[in-house]
Amino acid sequence: MRRRAPDVALTTNGQRLAELAEPLRQAGLRRVNISLDSLDPRSFAAITRGGVLEKTLAGIDAARRAGLDPVKLNVVVLRGLNDHEAPALVRFALGQGCQVRFLELMPIGVAACGFEDLFVSSAEVRSKLLGEFRFSALPADPEDTSRNFAVEDERGRRAIVGFISPSSEPFCNACPRLRLTATGVLIGCLARDEGIPLAPLLRRRSGPDVEALESAIGRALSMKRRDNEFVQPRAMVGIGG
């Protein structure tokens, strides 16, 4: 049986992607997830705590020119801040040839404070979009965290729109994904505060400890959430999302 090639993706705020997209593509990166929580410069800066919308838009364009495919735009939906932008963000994705995914807010890190006031379910976002676009459900992938739909506008433009619903429809038991932070910590589940430092295993004088690395990956996968509780004090920006 032929083993499927590992899928390595970059999740980024896109602030430096304009200059790095091509070097990353040459280094072996194949696809990228870019956070785009608003198309309004002021809202974008407020949500991202100082991000510059023009830099992320330039990063999206550079990623497409570099041949990264697919380019997925991640939108964390926040009530009263960007929930009204959902149709505009879909139209932007349609025009750019990108996919867009609407993510439910998770009560972790700084988002735990005010979660009840800011939370918008995937079902609510989808109901807003149904009045403006034609939706067709795509086959569900048991290993995908996103529930995807083919969406078409009145001009016949098409794109994939996904909904990631960790709060209203938990999927941790079937999730095979791992995250590696910029500091070298392997995260098995965003809802759990455990992490496994990999740097010491990689920087041994005798070379990487392959057996220990394999064991660490198994331990990280065992950390998947088995209930509806979130226990994660770190902010998403420190985890890689």
Is residue 194 domain-resident?
A: yes
User: Which of 20, 45, 50 shows the shortest CA–CA distance to 32?
Assistant: 20
Residue 29 lies in a domain: yes
> What is the tens place of the pLDDT at every residue in 157-215?
999 999 999 888 877 666 777 888 878 888 887 777 778 999 888 888 888 888 888 89
Please tell me the distance from the alpha carbon of residue 142 to that of residue 129, in angstroms, as a whole number: 24
> Which residues form the domain of 228?
173-238
**Whether residue 138 is found in the same domain as residue 180:** no
Domain boundary among 169, 185, 205: 169
Given this model, what pLDDT does residue 121 score? 97
> For the chain, what is the domain count?
2
For residue 79, what is the DSSP state?
Answer: T
* CATH for 16: 3.20.20.70
- For residue 137, the one-letter residue type is A
Half-sphere exposure (Cβ direction) of 169: Cα atoms closer than 13 Å:
11
State which of 148, 169, 190 marks the end of a domain. Answer: 169
pLDDT for 209 = 84
Spatial contact of 205 and 172, defined as CB atoms under 8 Å apart: no
pTM of the model: 0.79
Last residue of a domain, one of 169, 199, 227: 169
2 in any annotated domain:
no
27 and 124 co-located in one domain: yes
